[in-house]
Chains A and B, each alone.
Chain A
Amino acid sequence: TQLLEQSPQFLSIQEGENLTVYCNSSSVFSSLQWYRQEPGEGPVLLVTVVTGGEVKKLKRLTFQFGDARKDSSLHITAAQPGDTGLYLCAGDGGNTPLVFGKGTRLSVIA
């Protein structure tokens, strides 16, 4: 069974701070997706990383896929209250549906 471990589980920071959340596995994934879920809404895709070592940027968010395609990180620069939400990583392991991590709940305080 493929598992994705996300850390930290909870994160509360002040506006303007930087943060990194992690998504780790012992399994290799063909690709990895990051979703953000805001309160009362369903998750929305932020990015998909496909190639080992790949780095993608989405404004203040930087996503990296590990060289071995077993892990990923999300770095947020100068966090804002609008970044508050649940961040989920999901891995494509092959011929099965996506495997989701349990998420990192981020709270950015103004």
Chain B
Amino acid sequence: DVKVTQSSRYLVKRTGEKVFLECVQDMDHENMFWYRQDPGLGLRLIYFSYDVKMKEKGDIPEGYSVSREKKERFSLILESASTNQTSMYLCASSRDTNTGELFFGEGSRLTVL
């Protein structure tokens, strides 16, 4: 059974803290994505990666960075968390193209106080 695993389901952090959200997929997929999901705003793409050590900005990259040192792992980093980054974060992967079926993790709900 294919799986995308996000390291934390729930996190509570303080303003200014550095936050790491980890995502691992076991499907040998080339493409990985980070989205944030907010009520009324849908899924918004933060960053994506087509290959190891490669990254591309999505629609809302400000305040975030990513790391992809290994094919199966894609990390989202908040260098200095702010309250407006309180959200649900979803990681996804896809096989061959950036428009193929997306397999999502269960999400990480981050609250920044």
A and B: bona fide binding partners: yes
A-to-B contact residues, CB < 8 Å: 9, 30-31, 33, 35, 40-45, 48, 88, 90, 92, 95-98, 100-103
Binds A, one of B14-22, B62-70, B72-80, B101-109: B101-109
In contact, B99 and A43 (Cβ under 8 angstroms):
no
Q: How many residues of B contact A (CB 8 A)?
A: 19
Chain B residues positioned under 8 Å from A95 (CB to CB): 98
In contact, B42 and A48 (Cβ under 8 angstroms):
no
* Dominant secondary structure at the A interface: loop
Chain B residues positioned under 8 Å from A88 (CB to CB): 42-43
In contact, B41 and A97 (Cβ under 8 angstroms):
no
- Cβ distance A86 to chain B, nearest Cβ, rounded Å: 9
8 smallest beta-carbon distances between A and B, as pairs = A42-B104, A102-B42, A92-B99, A100-B43, A97-B98, A45-B101, A43-B104, A42-B105
B-to-A contact residues, CB < 8 Å: 4, 33, 40-43, 45, 48, 58, 90, 92, 98-99, 101-102, 104-107
A31 to B4 CA separation, bound complex (whole angstroms): 24
Given A31-B99, A41-B107, A97-B45, output 18 extra A-B contacts at Cβ < 8 Å.
A30-B99, A33-B102, A42-B4, A42-B90, A42-B92, A42-B104, A43-B90, A45-B101, A48-B101, A88-B42, A90-B102, A96-B98, A97-B33, A97-B48, A98-B99, A98-B102, A100-B43, A102-B41
